[in-house]
Amino acid sequence: MKLTNKSLYSQARDAILNIIDNSTEFMAKLPSEQELSERLGVSRNTIREALKSLENEGFIAPRHGVGTFIIRDSKNIKSNIAVLDSFTKIITNHGYTPGTKSLYHDRRTVPEDLTSKLNINEDSDVLYIDRIRTADGKPVIYVEDYITYIDGMMERFNSIKTESIFEFLKSYDIKISFSSCNIYAVISNEKLQKKLSLKEPKALLHLEQVHYSTKGIPIMYSDSYFLSNKFDFNLVRKVID
């Protein structure tokens, strides 16, 4: 009998994240793996899987022979750039009300430089989507998406009213699992200033991404431009020995 659809380690992770968010003092020590194992009623291995996941996201720092310490909580993190969230969630996390100002799309032949990135033939089609996302009504992100074309996509995109491309792809049983992302700082050119209603050149954070499905197949290429002063992108960088 299946009680939940979540794995044990994922449930343990949630429980530990709860401890983290409720702690107040700086560098508080978590209960030992042994104690967490007993308290949550799962094996130490399962606890360790949960801790590893939290360590990867930068919440905790284990010290060999000493204990595991909380280095930050999830409440104050507005956006972890290593986590692939929707624009809607990123804007919401920063305390703004998200919206979409303009939306254009067409079907076109894949641009030459994207054939290798999307691993498709040069005469293949893509669904091109051009969007301006807003925070409290003001333009903050400009996005251009190129999605490997599937039969009838134009028509379905017209009929389905969703702000989320990820949701749209789910209707084709495609679930985006990760993206390979290049990060650049750019100064807005005329096109970008027009799109983002800027009167003067501003610094933008440019993310160039190839999105992959759970099957590891490249599905979508995106260029997104963030008004950098509106967003806090956080990341934990680790030394690899």
Partner DNA sequence: CTTGATTTGTGCGTATGTATG
Partner DNA sequence: ACATACATACGCACAAATCAA
> Which chain residues interact with a second copy by CB under 8 A?
10, 26-27, 52, 56, 58, 61, 63, 69, 71-72, 81-84, 119, 175-187, 201-206, 209, 212, 214-217, 226, 228-229, 232-241
Shortest distance in whole angstroms from residue 240 CB to DNA: 12
Using CB distances below 5 to 8 A depending on partner kind, what does residue 96 bind out of a second copy, DNA, none?
none
What string marks each residue from 8 to 47 as x (binds DNA by CB under 7 A) or -?
xxx-------------------x-xxxx------xxxxx-
Q: d(Cα 55, Cα 102) in Å, to the nearest integer?
A: 39
Q: Which stretch binds DNA (CB under 7 A): 16-24, 64-72, 101-109, 116-124?
A: 64-72
Integer angstrom CA distances of residue 238 from 75, 112, 143, 220, 233:
22, 36, 30, 29, 16
Q: Is 56 in the site for DNA (CB under 7 A)?
A: no
Using CB distances below 5 to 8 A depending on partner kind, what does residue 65 bind out of a second copy, DNA, none?
DNA
Looking at the Cβ atoms of 5 and 158, the one nearer to a second copy is 5
Using CB distances below 5 to 8 A depending on partner kind, what does residue 180 bind out of a second copy, DNA, none?
a second copy
What string marks each residue from 96 to 135 as x (binds DNA by CB under 7 A) or -?
----------------------------------------
Q: Is 152 in the site for DNA (CB under 7 A)?
A: no
CB 202 within 8 A of CB 158: no
Shortest distance in whole angstroms from residue 46 CB to a second copy: 14
The CB-side HSE value for 145 (13 A sphere, CA atoms) comes to: 22
Integer angstrom CA distances of residue 30 from 7, 16, 22, 54, 64:
22, 9, 11, 12, 13
Give the residue from 212, 135, 204 showing the smallest Cα distance to 166. Answer: 212
- For 113-175, strand residue ranges (E) read 125-135, 138-148
Reading the block at residue 232, the tokens are: 């806090």
Integer angstrom CA distances of residue 145 from 106, 130, 137, 155:
11, 7, 22, 17
Q: Is 3 in the site for DNA (CB under 7 A)?
A: no
Map residue 220 onto helix, strand or coil.
Answer: strand
CB 214 within 8 A of CB 177: yes
Shortest distance in whole angstroms from residue 115 CB to DNA: 24
Using CB distances below 5 to 8 A depending on partner kind, what does residue 1 bind out of a second copy, DNA, none?
none
Reading the block at residue 63, the tokens are: 């010290």
Total residues interacting with DNA, rule: CB under 7 A: 27
Binding site for DNA (CB under 7 A): 2, 7-10, 30, 32-35, 42-46, 48-49, 51, 62-68, 214-215
